[in-house]
Structure 1
């Protein structure tokens, strides 16, 4: 597990813990690693889970799908990001999401139910982990709130501008990369890809944005 320490040290879940404490915690929560190939399922809707996943290499997509194959991307998780925290913290909950590998990846599974019982050693880092887990769960709710804000806009244009504006603020720059390709961005914003491409072209002609693949530059002006 030592090879994952560079990722774990900067993870909000392990904030405030030393390397030795992190390794101790990994044993406490029955940490286990798996490898997945691109496009393979990690978790499927309809299942339940007692573990949350931490991406230690590659990236995954958290999605919802219907019977006809329509996909709604909820989030993309890269190295250092968690998924399925809410379900792992609520025993018996049925997943209404699926998680698939967006590229070859390694996942560290953590059984958070082990944190819900008193630690026999009454270790201080056990209490730190519980506080950190609450912060992780709160952050995930904020991420989903952002998505609701974007998809709640009435038009394709408004959804795009809402998302790009939020990304600009989050990254503190008018020039930034987004984690999605074009199809993934359309799936995330719940819009048609062709309509989205047409709107991006209009926004470029109007001088509001410049874009190349997943890179965007925004221009602030009076509309």
Structure 2
């Protein structure tokens, strides 16, 4: 177990290595490795554990009745998943959690995480505080995505997203965390249509871009 790595994750932020070692024994912690495309949690199942990605990354995949699927989310190294479902006993997953690449997952029992030990140790309280912050941030990110996908036209979706990125970066020159396909998936549009619209926006003088680097221009 890499305790130093865990101290640098959002969930264990502010908790020392020796405290983490003590915590993991209280939280029913277990580790498991997965190969690329292996299912970690399957849609329709109920979970009682959250997963923390120790290496690699995982995808949150929504499967449709007609057989096609869509990547709804991507969880990088150091981040957690399934906390919302684990918090509601018996709640069935609406999506698969799939290894995007070879990965190692640390599973933690959420009930034990939310129930402080009899000594009321401060580092357990810190863990609960961190989990609340993570959940709040995910909620804000989801609200942002809903705001960007609400407009009907691809241009309006892009204007909404790029405007937010300029605000977040406090600069009209910034780099986004998506490639073209990922941006198309995030906004819920076709990749070719997205690329065409970006080219039109550049021709209209609204933006300049190279790969995932953008500059917004005043009109």
Q: Is the 8 A contact 1:60 1:101 kept in 2?
A: yes
Q: Is the 8 A contact 1:46 1:95 kept in 2?
A: yes
Q: Per-residue CA shift, 1:84-130, capped at 9, x if unaligned? A: 11111222111112222222222211111102334133322222222
Q: Is the 8 A contact 2:45 2:93 kept in 1?
A: yes
Of residues 95, 106, 109, the one that matches 1:108 is 106
Residues of 2 paired with 1:149 and 1:20: CA distance?
A: 42
Give ranges in structure 1 of 5+ residues lacking alignment: none
Question: How far off its partner does 1:210 sit?
Answer: 0.7
Question: How far off its partner does 1:136 sit?
Answer: 1.6
Q: How does 1:167-206 map to 2 (within 5 A)?
A: 167-173=165-171, 174-178=173-177, 180-206=178-204
Give ranges in structure 2 of 5+ residues lacking alignment: none
Residues of 2 paired with 1:30 and 1:69: CA distance?
A: 36
Q: Per-residue CA shift, 1:191-219, capped at 9, x if unaligned? A: 1222112112222333403132xx22222
Residues of 2 paired with 1:137 and 1:175: CA distance?
A: 26
1:136 corresponds to 2:116 = no
Of residues 116, 123, 126, the one that matches 1:125 is 123
* Number of equivalent positions: 217
Partner SS for 1:194: helix
Question: How far off its partner does 1:163 sit?
Answer: 2.3
1:218 equivalent in structure 2: 215
Question: How far off its partner does 1:81 sit?
Answer: 1.3
Q: Per-residue CA shift, 1:53-91, capped at 9, x if unaligned? A: 111222222232212344343322111111111111222
Aligned-residue CA RMSD (Å)? 2.1
1:18 and 1:4, CA in 2 relative to 1: closer, same or farther beyond 3 A?
A: closer
Partner SS for 1:14: coil
Q: Is the 8 A contact 1:56 1:79 kept in 2?
A: yes
